[in-house]
Structure 1
């Protein structure tokens, strides 16, 4: 049913594209950049309220942050698409028990942060501001949170950040875009129009936004964890990081899917942080 609805929306956008490819491309890009905001349940809110909370103004957005104090290094956790800081609860509890400081942020248009649109470039700027503000030493990013972390460290390297962890992270923007176009069934005209809008907005072609290639030049040591059966971000993206991010180690899992929210994964992360 969901797949049928997706294709129907794509067909409507394609029809609009017959009359105006630019309008159709704008609609397609807007849909691509508009996550569903998932309301926090009472139990989830209660857990997050055990942290020190602070809203940080970044551009036009109020970004909600959650902070648990610790005597060891400070770890920043960046969630992925249509998620929020609560997704990190089990890892937060393990890190707290080991006396690490923990900082989480809700991305723009996610959780309790403001905004209606989202992209990895915007997210990377938010990660930069929060990492600098709280003197973060390690950044852990899931999915687009990992891609945004790579963008951040490429554009704004911080001396305090010594380690990066990418969980199921896309390696390049072209792949993300092409999977979206295929999912929606957009015509080549609409897809090309989206590429043009990206260039108009960022003054760069979509090919430029390649997190794996950016990682060639970052100083922090890295850990890349990706599941062979990830149905959201293909395992080939992890191999891209393995090729380009020379200062990183790849751990391949099988059967954990895209979420990678298991004790085994958390133990890999903690072992890497402790080392």
Structure 2
């Protein structure tokens, strides 16, 4: 499913949405098991993003085993490790230009594809699945220097309580900090049966022994003790910039605002590189 179902903003009435509402509710009533299976495919299957960035020379590509299956990892450089985690319908390929910059600064850049994304195993994705994979990757690192997370990857990162992250600096790029509020509003506006959507959420929660109420990236951001830098474009159409502005009420959070870069191009931007350079003391 494309990012539009999770991060769309169109709430105007349309016949198509009205028909979707009637059809999905009827499907759930007549064939509940099949309807749930269909809904899982709709909401938990990411779209395959284009991999436009060439693979840097010297990159080591390796599959690491996790509870979610084998996750494909991409490592460049040497020295202390910075972990990079992408968002919904993204892949590690989005980080390749930034990874070259990190490697040139004397660090190891380690990115990976989330479950159901890129070249990793799995057919479904969700925050609990992302979190399980992230912790599985962190378990296999000797030492983590910091983390850079994009979009839904940032929401996932903030949920992690892994020991390797304690006291480590974090850069959140175009984060979705009020994830569930945005998601539920968008799904409701799409016209899809909310009862059926809630059934999918409950099904995922049951598998991972969690509840949606416990997942709150904005609250978890406030509880962090380490410094957090947010790099976010004012015109981002998918993740509200205003929420990142609100996050600066936390004393450990700083915000770098960009213009004209949107939700994805910011990953290749100079402001993001400069934020990283400032953290490692090379600015």
Q: Deviations over 1:72-101 (max 9, x none)?
A: x32111111112111112211211221211
Match of 2:99 in 1: 92
Could you tell me how far 1:32 is from its partner in structure 2?
A: 1.3
Aligned with 1:124 (options 131, 134, 144): 131
**TM norm structure 2:** 0.81
Measure the CA separation in 2 of the matches of 1:248 and 1:105. Answer: 26
Corresponding position: 1:273 with 2:245:
no
Question: 2:26 aligned to 15, 33, 45, which one?
Answer: 15
How far is the alpha carbon of 1:194 from its aligned partner? Answer: 4.0
Unaligned runs of 5+ in 2: 5-9
The structure where helix makes up a greater share of residues is 1
Closer, same or farther in 2 for the Cα pair 1:206/1:252, shift >3 Å? Answer: same
Given that residues 149 and 172 in structure 2 are in contact (C-alpha distance below 8 angstroms), is that contact kept between their aligned partners in structure 1? yes
- Structure 1 CA distance for aligned equivalents of residues 262 and 276 of structure 2: 17
**What secondary structure is seen at the aligned counterpart in 2 of 1:274?**
coil
Contact persistence 1:139–1:161 (CA under 8 A):
no
Deviation at 1:201, TM superposition (A): 3.8
For 1:69-108, what aligned pairs fall within 5 Å after superposition?
69-71=77-79, 73-108=80-115
Aligned to 1:258: 263
Q: Corresponding residue for 1:61?
A: 69
| Runs of at least 5 residues in structure 1 that lack an aligned partner in the other structure | none
**Count of residues paired in the alignment:** 267
From the superposition, tell whether residues 21 and 252 of structure 1 become closer, same or farther in structure 2 (CA, over 3 Å).
farther
Counterparts in 2 of 1:200 and 1:101: CA distance versus 1, 3 Å: closer
Match of 1:189 among 195, 208, 212: 195
Kindly indicate whether the alpha-carbon contact (under 8 Å) linking 2:236 and 2:263 is maintained by their aligned counterparts in 1: yes
1:27 is the counterpart of 2:38: yes
Q: 1:172 to 1:209 in 2, by over 3 A?
A: farther
**Is the CA contact 1:157–1:218 (under 8 Å) kept in the aligned structure 2?**
no
Flag the 1:57–1:240 CA change in 2: closer, same or farther, 3 A. Answer: farther
For 2:7, the equivalent position in structure 1 comes to none
Residue 115 of structure 1, CA deviation: 0.7
Q: Which residue of 2 aligns with 1:206?
A: 212
- Decide which of 148, 151, 154 is 1:143's aligned counterpart: 151
* Partner Cα distance (1:210, 1:24) in 2: 28
Q: 1:202 to 1:55 in 2, by over 3 A?
A: closer
> How many Å separate the matches in 1 of 2:188 and 2:57?
40
The root-mean-square deviation of aligned C-alpha atoms, in Å, is 3.0
Question: Which residue of 1 is the match for residue 252 of structure 2?
Answer: 247
How does 1:210-229 map onto structure 2 within 5 Å? 210-229=216-235
